[in-house]
Structure 1
Amino acid sequence: MLALTYHGPKRVFVEENPEPRIEHPNDVVLRVTRATICGSDLHLYNGYVPDTRVGTIFGHEFTGVVEEVGPSVASLARGDRVVVPFNIACGACFFCQRERTSICENTNPLTKVVGGVFGYSHTTGGYQGGQAELVRVPFADVGPMKIPDDLSDEDVLFLSDILPTGYQAAEMGDITPEDTVAVFGCGPVGLFAQRCAWLMGAKRVIAIDSIDYRLAFAQKYNRVEIVDFKEHPDVVSRLLEMTDGRGPDVCIEAVGLEAKGSLLHGVLGKMLRVQAGSPIALNWSIQAARRGGRVSIIGVYGPPWNLVDMGSAMNKGLTIKAGQCDVKRYMPRLVEHIREGRIDPKALITHHVPLEETAEMYRIFNARADGVLKVALIPPGAK
């Protein structure tokens, strides 16, 4: 089969790979119908994630049709259309029983930090991903959700990750009708966090970014106020000006480890790799939030440490919530939001390309070129 495989930083190729097979009775094999490139895939592409091995197939956001079914699978049959959460969860452990599927304790034996993830290095279990014609899905009775007949694959593609992630980001902010919410980042997760902040009753939503087309899309798609930090490099001061000197009630950090920061952050995080990225957006969130406010961290960071302003967080009495998204528990309610027209996820798709062109799309996506927000990758033969 064809699949996008990793050969080193900024070296990915679509090439022939062995087809996946049933390895456990509760596996299924999907024929992929749609996949996409996530902003966190760029962390792999640029070599920021340790133990990303040559030959790894990327991709943790995909839909597909069940092609093969393991003998113990009870909920799926050949021909079913499904969307698959990026987290791989066993469904039975302490955390899964509490709907915390992102921190399943049985799907990633290499670490006690996070559960298994499709196509995201051996630090998350070494599972192959879905930027391919076929993909093996473990614990098939737990993760995949059947796609309703009245919805297309592209309607629900982002239920695999970024839409639930944006929803959880807003939920962790405990938003009330009097709240001003600042969302750092107008990438796809930030855009969905903005939309979901409105759904949860926010009074104002402010979006912060520096990329013109993203800010323009955020204004059009989400009716938000914007802060362009090219024009306002002192973001914290600008947010204080916009909020009577007090600061936003809720700050959502939807940027993560590739944030542009100081020279020190760049040297430590991106050159020496001794901290997990550049936490400038996280520090802005902490420093801008009003005293007694809330900070929601959904941007991807990795161990071991970061130069984070915990002194301000403590002294201001902030409540901080963070975590990978527990995708599965949000899928049913988000299907209803999509069906009722409150969210149109596919509006973020700016590019439809054949799977064979995925390597070039990584280059474009990494450069933030050609107005790209999200890309729908279409494998050969997919409708």
Structure 2
Amino acid sequence: MDFLSFLVNSQRLTQWRPSGGPELMYIALSHESCDLDSVVSTLAIAYLRHRNPGTLQHNYMPVLNMLRRDYSSKSEVRFLLDKQQITADRHLVFRDDVPEELLLRSRFILVNHHVSPFHYCTEEVYDYRPYQCEAARLPIYCQRIMHPMHSCAALITERFDSPIYNYTNVHCLRVYELLHAALLFQNNNFSQYPLDQLPHVRDFQLLQFLEKHLGELELPQRSILYDTLVKAVFDLNELTLPQVMRREFKLLRANNGSHLVRIALCCFPMAVTRFISFEFSQLALQQFAAEHSCDFIMLLGTSMQPRGGLVIKEIGLIPLDALRDMEDRRLFDHLIINLNATLEPFLALESYRGLDFMQGAFFYLNVWNIQYYDMLSLMQRIIYNWVSEDVYLPN
């Protein structure tokens, strides 16, 4: 079965029922951000597992960990998949397409993340980030492919290059083109490395493996491909403000024993100051907060750094209840103080003084190295500290 036929068949697997035999359902589940690296890696590893089935013919279904309605907000993902004739209607399975009963009886392959509510039945993990031993309650038998690389696409490409894992010698040019684009994009076109160091960078070595099959590209050709993907990231012309907010977001919860707070981190390729300048931005924020029961929304506006690559350049922290609750006011102050004081990572925040919008706090970052996952990790630590201080506060 070729790659496109495999994806078409994946949609039919949402109706799969166990027959009583040895056949199992394996779901390759992407990171909930569903960025380019995560989506491509999920599709690729599911296909590789399907083509290398072992002695038992199990089912493998790639699932994008987002709602189908939000796919249109992933402009660069849509652009790349459209080039390969992969459409949402015919080829992709989203989280809300999978019945709950199927989720409960499936085995999981976690792609580009390793902390999941499905940890209890996860058999494989592909993630290049450090292992979170306290949060990731993975089974002992779970295989963890967590090498220190710069992309999940590199981990998956290694599997295609492995005669042990890819024993049927599958080489799909369509999949390789997707992995090549993801590697190039996730590594910012490798612009941060001197040319003499590139041969020693593992992600670049795997890019060269792909180009052995696709045809070797010169530096200008790679730059054109990379610039095309970057342009697609900032192509938000067809999106509404709610779609921009849902483009990449994460809900964090904090509970100090008496007070539960929900904080949404919304990341998008637009300046925060531009977002809040639109006529219906306040309405969009209020609707998003109501839909997700948020008490705070943190807006993360990304820009292109001088050497390429998306980085956070503006932050907005907005309290949705106008800080009428004392506990919310305490947490708001705690967040602002810690964001300004943190050294890992150092944000070098510069406040936008005089900016009055929904009683929020807005900052410009005077650094060029802060990415979405850096802010997500930092906010998790700050919230944990707030909860810990309250738990252990003396009477």
Higher helix share: 2
TM-score, with normalisation over the residues of structure 1?
0.29
Larger Rg: 2
Q: Which has the higher contact order (CA 8 A, sep 6+)?
A: 1
TM-score, with normalisation over the residues of structure 2?
0.28
